[in-house]
Amino acid sequence: MKRHLPLIALALALAWVASTLVPRGNPGPFDLGAFGRLPVLAGGRIKPLDTIARTGLLMLQGRQRAVAPNGKQVTPEEWLLDVFFIPDTADAYQVFRIDNPDLLSIFSLARADGDGGVRFSYRQMQAGLDELDRQAHLAEPVENAERSAFQRAVVELRSHVEFYVRLKFGLQAPGIADLAAELSDSSRIRALHGAFESMDTFSSLRAIPPGRASADPAGWQSVGHSLLGAASPSDVDPHALMYAALGNDWRGSQPAAFDAAVRSYGDELSLRFPAAARRARAEASFNQAEPFITSLFLYVVAFLLAVISWLAWPEQLGRAAFRIMGLAFLVATFGILARMWLEGRPPVTNLYSSALFIGWGSVALCLVLEQLHRNAVASAAGSMIGFGTLVIAHHLSLSGDTLEMMRAVLDSNFWLSTHVVTVTTGYASTFLAGFLAIIYIVRGLLTRSLDQRTADALSRMVYGIVCFATLFSFVGTMLGGIWADQSWGRFWGWDPKENGALLIVIWNAIILHCRWGGLVRQRGMMALAVFGNVVTAWSWFGTNMLGVGLHSYGFTDAAFYGLITFVASQLAIIGLALIPLGSWRSFRGSKA
Amino acid sequence: MNQEPTASRPGTGGPSFARTVAASLASLQLTVALLGLSLAMIFVATLDQVHLGVWGVQQKYFHSFFVMAKVPGTDFTLPVFPGGYLLGGALLLNLVTAHASRFRLSWRKSGIWLTHAGLILLLIGEGLSGLMQRDGQVRMDVGQTRRYVESFRESELAVADVTNAGYDDIVAIPVDRLTGQNVIQHPKLPFTLKPVAYFPNATLRMRSQVPNAPPSMATMGDGTEMVAEPAPMTYKPDESNWPTGYVELAGPEGTLGTWLVSALLDEPQTFTYQGRTWQIALRARRDYLPFTLTLGKFTHDIYPGTDIPKNFASTIRLRSDDGRDDRSALISMNNPLRYGGFAFYQAGYANNDHTSVLQAVRNPSWQIPYASCALIALGLVLQFGISLFGFFRRRAGPAPRPAAARSAPSSP
């Protein structure tokens, strides 16, 4: 049993990973999966309705799970269908997350009124929406970095309400009971002109495909826009009619008609727009498989196995940890490749994907290190970073679609794949050196498990990774300078993000020169490497919080306290490293 | 331990002051100290950008020898931290002396040599850019032709003789001259200009809107009906300073009057003197080009159904004065036009997509960073490659003795 432990662990993990890839069935008679795979144009790209539903729920309330007003747990698709077709019911879903207590007072709400104390429904907020609007107008002229917590919460909730209202106008206008019936009568079509105009103005979706097959997404229209061009029932676009009938089927609980309509429309799109339909189907499956969540759990298991291996069964548990980390890495690789294919871009395009890639890069290095040293240290560090970066990525995904379109200035696949990937690898390796150093400090100081051989191996690893980090952060930073020179005419502009990258380069150079000059030994180098975590975290997130400069694309407010906590923890670990070696449990007695 | 020899090598001759100074200048301790100071300076400067903006921070921290701070409650400034020029210069000196005194040319150190050579080049290049780079903008409506670059921050007082239909004869006076008291005289001008008052930033209002305003210093031109009020300088990226002043013109026969001049006035003010027509205007400093640019078309694409910009592009007709070049060029995001020592970038747009704003940069040393980056990257790859190669060779060899295993590859 003990001998086969690594294999058994791997087999169990594999079975679990396989189970996540099996498509989940529909909870009821409606083919919600087929509905979720239907493509629409939103946010500048064609994506499945499943993505709209999931990113919408994540953005509004921080999770994909929704609970219907009748207490039943529903899938994201069911919530979206209610928003489209039964807005009265949708308004009662408690899906708006409000954390700021001052914001609650706008709506005269108390914590006790909300689901879990933080989630409230559109209906609960309705009476205070005018006041929210007024407060948002007051807050908007204030620059992002200077807004108070209340102002930021106001602006955020206002944008969530707007997102929700726009969705309600996506396929039909609220207030029209039976759009399909209205569309069968010319006089009614004329009478509803105003409603169609509202739909065209407010809808964030363009659900009607172009008449002729074309790869240009600009041909997609909103339902409202399409209906505005119709004078009589014969002019109405068949797809607008299909969606109107779908509304009736959903409201009237007609699964057979619903499924038939959704499937035949899906088939039609596969014929006319094979590439877009294929991507939408793949994206919906990708959403459902949630590879990064799977990977996250595997990293936790790998980390625990690695740490336990220092106390018992080093060989077997260490190998099990290595294999499970390897599996987690493969799953994450698959996820990143899938995103690259969906987007047609290099791996790092925004803050979210930088988190994915930093974790991926660190783990890749750890797989190599672990092969060289086989002491579970690199497995522990790698799975810790893998886990941490995926948690960060999850929190970053709460701001909306993570496959967003690139702004003009960033729209250069060449520079995204050279500068961004290289500099992100620099971040990843600097973090890795820091986390390896943390293992050295914590194990050495608090346990007796850090023998001299492991300590020396760790020292070599940290030194090697710092060299690697110096190379990549330097080359990445310089490539950024060259991009800047090519794009806006200066090699170096002392922009906060540029400065942040430069700080990483300088810090790595400091570590190397301290080591070469004999200014520090093992323990000192470890303390310096941990501070590398602080420098890198600052460059990655802190600079975005300043809200100035050309790179301020990823302002994240909630991350601020996370960053402060992280920095404090790293400083505390550096403080521990300063305790003289005589008091370290691993080195007590031996002269190190 | 394969330790790099440190600067304080004992036994290399008697202690002398010069030797000690040279040794400290070349020491790794100094390198680490300078890098640490740079780190702190860059970090503080980044934080200060929220208040000063990028340009203000560059002047205060990076393009200065000392970071100056005001003593609270006074106007007295004191150096509180070394600035970019000092730190960069010291690092340069440290590097050069270290190589002169400590490093020997060897295959094992070749990567370090390359890296440091590239670094020296990079520091020199950055210094040159700081000294030589000029940047400005070209604003053009569709169909308009421009032959000059306007500075972002510097202004000039332009006095033009516009009597002749075919050309203007312009005398441009830097605004620095308006801050002094000295009378400005120029061989091309039949009158002198005397600065009366100057504000680096100001607001203008119509006199009718300010009932209690003091009488205007201006006796001629538009300024008689306006009130100029000094305003604090701004450093925000989306705001501009509006230099404003009063100048008194005088001929041999006496004063011609006092004019209000301001960057806020759109049109130059016209007057006649001795039968010639003159224009006077305070405007962004202009650098004239030996060629003209004409904006043919400007496009601003967005992703469908969003307001996310996808691309900006200007189609430009470029004509050189010597007649050798007459061609069209497309300037778009990430795709500049380099011509005649200038690089033109698509920087922005205005006026409902009718106006294109190009950034124009002239930096004769723009290629230095490319060369230095290539050198450093090559050097680092070489150095770490040699280390890595050594590491794997040791691993492949016989099992290291315990004592040998303890010494990490501390030197590259």
Interface confidence, given as ipTM, is 0.82
Q: What is the pTM (predicted TM-score) of this model? A: 0.84
Closest Cβ–Cβ partner in B43, B57, B336 for A503: B43
Distance CA B54, CA B135 (A): 15
A419 vs B: CB within 8 A? no
Give the tokens for residue B242: 């509006």
Distance CA B298, CA B349 (A): 9
Q: Which residue has the higher pLDDT, A24 or B337?
A: B337
Are B53 and A548 an interchain contact pair (Cβ–Cβ within 8 Å)? yes
On whether residue B404 sits in a domain, the answer given is no
Distance CA B369, CA A492 (A): 9
How many residue contacts between A and B have a Cβ separation below 8 Å? Answer: 191
What's the gap in Å between the CA of A440 and the closest CA on chain B? 15
Q: Is the per-residue pLDDT at A548 higher than 80?
A: no
Give the tens place of pLDDT for each residue, A203-260: 989 999 998 777 788 889 999 999 998 888 888 999 999 999 999 999 999 999 999 9
Are A493 and B395 an interchain contact pair (Cβ–Cβ within 8 Å)? no
Residue A272, CB-side half-sphere exposure with 13 Å CA sphere: 15
Which residue in chain A has the smallest CA separation from B343?
A489
pLDDT score recorded for residue B279: 92
B308 vs A: CB within 8 A? yes
* Mean predicted lDDT score pLDDT of chain A: 89
pLDDT score recorded for residue A557: 57
**pLDDT-wise least confident of A312-316, A566-570, A588-592, B54-58:** A588-592
Identify the domain boundary among A274, A303, A318: A274
Identify the domain boundary among B252, B287, B322: B287
A590 vs B: CB within 8 A? no
**Do B22 and B121 sit in the same domain of this protein?**
yes
**pLDDT-wise least confident of A160-164, B289-293, B364-368:** B364-368
Q: Is the per-residue pLDDT at B8 higher than 80?
A: no
Residues 6+ apart with CB under 8 A from B389: none
**Do B92 and B47 sit in the same domain of this protein?**
yes
Residues 6+ apart with CB under 8 A from A356: A292, A332, A335, A336, A339, A347, A389, A390, A393
Residues 6+ apart with CB under 8 A from A215: A273, A275, A276
Identify the domain boundary among A274, A305, A339: A274
Give the tens place of pLDDT for each residue, A377-433: 999 999 999 999 999 899 888 888 888 877 777 777 777 788 889 999 999 999 999
Which residue in chain B has the smallest CA separation from A482?
B370
B45 vs A: CB within 8 A? yes
Residues 6+ apart with CB under 8 A from A283: A47, A48, A50, A51, A342, A403
Give the tokens for residue A63: 């999770």
pLDDT score recorded for residue B404: 38
Q: Is the per-residue pLDDT at B117 higher than 50?
A: yes
* Residue A167 with chain B: CB contacts under 8 Å: none
Q: Is the per-residue pLDDT at B46 higher than 70?
A: yes
Q: Is the per-residue pLDDT at A550 higher than 50?
A: no
Per the structure, the complete domain to which residue B109 belongs is given by 17-132+367-385
* SS3 (DSSP) at B78: strand
Report the percent of chain A where pLDDT is more than 90: 57
With left for phi above 0 and alpha for psi between -120 and 50, is residue B183 left, alpha or beta? beta
Which residue in chain B has the smallest CA separation from A498?
B46
On whether residue A132 sits in a domain, the answer given is yes
On whether residue A564 sits in a domain, the answer given is yes
pLDDT score recorded for residue B274: 86
On whether residue B86 sits in a domain, the answer given is yes
Identify the domain boundary among A274, A291, A323: A274
On whether residue A392 sits in a domain, the answer given is no
Q: pLDDT band for position A511 (50/70/90)?
A: very high
What number is the average pLDDT over the span B192-217? 86
Which 355-384 residues of chain B touch chain A by CB within 8 A?
359-361, 363, 366, 369-370, 373, 376-377, 380-381, 384
pLDDT score recorded for residue B102: 77
B50 vs A: CB within 8 A? yes
For residues B329 and B359, the answer to whether their CB atoms sit within 8 Å is: no
Closest Cβ–Cβ partner in B42, B308, B410 for A515: B410
Q: Is the per-residue pLDDT at A549 higher than 50?
A: no
Which 516-545 residues of chain A touch chain B by CB within 8 A?
516-519, 522, 535, 538, 543
Q: Which residue has the tokens 């003789």?
A: B161
Give the tokens for residue A402: 């993570």
Identify the domain boundary among B227, B253, B287: B287
On whether residue B209 sits in a domain, the answer given is yes
On whether residue A254 sits in a domain, the answer given is yes
**Do B84 and B182 sit in the same domain of this protein?**
no
* Residue A490 with chain B: CB contacts under 8 Å: 129, 133, 135, 361, 363
Q: Is the per-residue pLDDT at B5 higher than 80?
A: no
pLDDT score recorded for residue A1: 66
On whether residue B4 sits in a domain, the answer given is no
Q: pLDDT band for position A266 (50/70/90)?
A: very high
Distance CA A75, CA A26 (A): 9
The domain tally of chain B equals: 3
Give the tokens for residue A4: 């086969």
Are A489 and B305 an interchain contact pair (Cβ–Cβ within 8 Å)? no
Distance CA A513, CA A536 (A): 19
* Residue B36 with chain A: CB contacts under 8 Å: 510
Distance CA A24, CA A285 (A): 10
For chain B, the first-to-last Cα distance in angstroms comes to 12
Of A192, A106, A202, A201, nearest in space to A155 by CA: A106
Pairing of strands B145-161, B276-302: antiparallel
For residues A382 and A362, the answer to whether their CB atoms sit within 8 Å is: yes
**Do B271 and B160 sit in the same domain of this protein?**
yes
Give the tens place of pLDDT for each residue, A89-101: 999 999 999 988 8
C-alpha to C-alpha distances, B111 to A78, B20, B106, B260, nearest whole angstrom? 62, 28, 10, 62
pLDDT score recorded for residue A176: 85
Give the tens place of pLDDT for each residue, A451-476: 888 899 999 999 999 999 999 999 99
Interface test with B, best of A142, A430, A488 (most B CBs within 10 A): A488
**Do B140 and B201 sit in the same domain of this protein?**
no
Helices A559-577 + A421-446 axis angle, to 10: 50
What number is the average pLDDT over the span A49-75? 92
A344 vs B: CB within 8 A? no
Q: pLDDT band for position A547 (50/70/90)?
A: low
With left for phi above 0 and alpha for psi between -120 and 50, is residue A417 left, alpha or beta? alpha
The domain tally of chain A equals: 2
**Do B231 and B344 sit in the same domain of this protein?**
no
Q: Which residue has the higher pLDDT, A590 or B409?
A: A590
Per the structure, the complete domain to which residue A541 belongs is given by 411-592
